[in-house]
Amino acid sequence: MSRKSPESKADAASGPSVEGPAFGGFGIGVVARMTGIDEHTLRIWERRYGFPRPARSSGGVRLYGADDVRRLRLISRALSRGHRPGEVVAKDAEALEALLGAALSEPEAVVADPAANEREQILAALRREDVDGVQGGLRRLAMMLGPRRFVVDVAQPLAIRVGELWASGDLEIHQEHLLSDCLSTQLRLLRSFFEETRGPIVLLTTLPGEPHALGLEMIALYVAVAGSSARVLGVSTPPEQLVLAARAHRAAAVGLAITLSSNLDAVGEAVRLIVPQVSPATQVWLGGAGAAPLPPMPGVRRIVTWSELDAALASLGLQARAG
């Protein structure tokens, strides 16, 4: 992970030391991009308010944890609603959530979906064949919302909307493919911030005949934010190969993306082959809109909504994080 900002000896003395890459923290430049709070401000807050107080690599480089990032995003939201740094920076995450929740409970504080206008601008750029506009809009939303909300509030709604526009003849297929590529690039970039995660391994793929990978990228980022080590096997993986991969990686779960166009008979046949052959400790997840009409199957968890995915992650000892 690159470190863009040199650290002074005085800075290096202000936090506990840990050994470099094994810690798996985020550098200050990455945290600035993820939270929208610039590096200079982060340093000032560290000295003035005692937060954030990052750990240190053996070389003295600041390393921020996922909990730091979560709390900084909450602080950023509080500042955007008119609170002053002295009022919110020292508050813990629970106090910040209570503060933000109280503000949202007041009718005058309820605002429209902050991503809606940006999504429309991205679609307008897509119609103009403005690749820079599409990519820039996605980057802004990723920085504004954080990775988890980017998946839920941006990537999935945009993918669905573009599919609808193509089906109605309002977009060309090459435009749909362009958006998918731009989304995939942004999702992969966000997931790279979590590449050193050492949580339970979740393998993600589709069954033979299902060529769509964008949903896998969304799920991979979502579970990585929760603390899982997400590994995408690509699309159209034969069941027997998925079994071998699950054993080789000692996977805590294997997730199959099922679309509405999937052959449900073939899905059932594949699952009946997979479940008895993976370790009893490995969960089998069937996710996506196509999983909804499937009948209950022994040893299988159906995941159709984000809350159901949160429950599945909780069963692995993980907890969905804000942002």
pLDDT value of position 132: 94
Span(s) in the chain for CATH 3.40.50.280: 201-315
What's the pLDDT band for 222 if we cut at 50, 70, 90? very high
pLDDT value of position 113: 62
* d(C-alpha 310, C-alpha 281), whole Å: 19
Span(s) in the chain for CATH 1.10.1660.10: 9-109
What's the pLDDT band for 90 if we cut at 50, 70, 90? very high
- Is the pLDDT score of 84 beyond 80? yes
pLDDT value of position 65: 83
In this structure, is the dihedral angle defined by the CA atoms of residues 7, 10, 16 and 17, taken in order, positive or negative?
Answer: positive
* d(C-alpha 126, C-alpha 179), whole Å: 7
The kind and range of the H/E element at 256 are strand 253-257
Where does 9-109 sit in CATH, by number? 1.10.1660.10
Q: Which CATH class is domain 117-192?
A: mainly alpha
Range from 67-81, 102-116, 157-171, 205-219 carrying the lowest mean pLDDT? 102-116
**Half-sphere exposure of residue 179, counting CA atoms within 13 Å on the CB side?**
27
Across 85-99, average pLDDT: 89
The verdict on pTM exceeding 0.85 is no
* d(C-alpha 23, C-alpha 190), whole Å: 19
pLDDT value of position 70: 84
pLDDT value of position 261: 80
* d(C-alpha 140, C-alpha 33), whole Å: 10
pLDDT value of position 22: 33
pLDDT value of position 319: 67
What's the pLDDT band for 156 if we cut at 50, 70, 90? very high
Residue 219: CB atoms within 10 A of its CB come to: 24
Q: What is the pLDDT of residues 271-323, one digit of tens each?
A: 999 999 999 999 999 998 888 888 888 899 999 888 899 999 999 988 655 45
- Compare 99 and 202 and report the one with higher pLDDT: 202
Range from 63-72, 86-95, 223-232 carrying the lowest mean pLDDT? 63-72
Span(s) in the chain for CATH 1.10.1240.10: 117-192
Residue 146 vs residues 27, 154, 192, 322, 323: alpha-carbon distances, Å: 16, 11, 14, 8, 5
Q: Which CATH superfamily is domain 201-315 in?
A: Cobalamin-binding domain (3.40.50.280)
- Compare 80 and 227 and report the one with higher pLDDT: 227
Q: What is the pLDDT of residues 15-58, one digit of tens each?
A: 333 333 333 567 888 788 777 788 888 988 999 999 999 888 77
pLDDT value of position 150: 92
Please give the mean pLDDT across all residues of the chain: 83
**In the chain, which ranges are continuous DSSP H helix?**
9-12, 20-23, 28-35, 39-49, 66-80, 85-88, 93-105, 116-127, 131-145, 147-150, 156-167, 173-192, 214-225, 239-249, 264-274, 306-315
What's the pLDDT band for 102 if we cut at 50, 70, 90? low
Q: What is the pLDDT of residues 255-275, one digit of tens each?
A: 999 987 888 889 999 999 999
pLDDT value of position 270: 94
What percent of the chain has a predicted confidence (pLDDT) above 70?
87
What's the pLDDT band for 97 if we cut at 50, 70, 90? confident
- For 204-247, the DSSP string reads EE--TT----HHHHHHHHHHHHTT-EEEE--S---HHHHHHHHH
pLDDT value of position 27: 82
- Is the pLDDT score of 1 beyond 50? no
Across 219-225, average pLDDT: 94
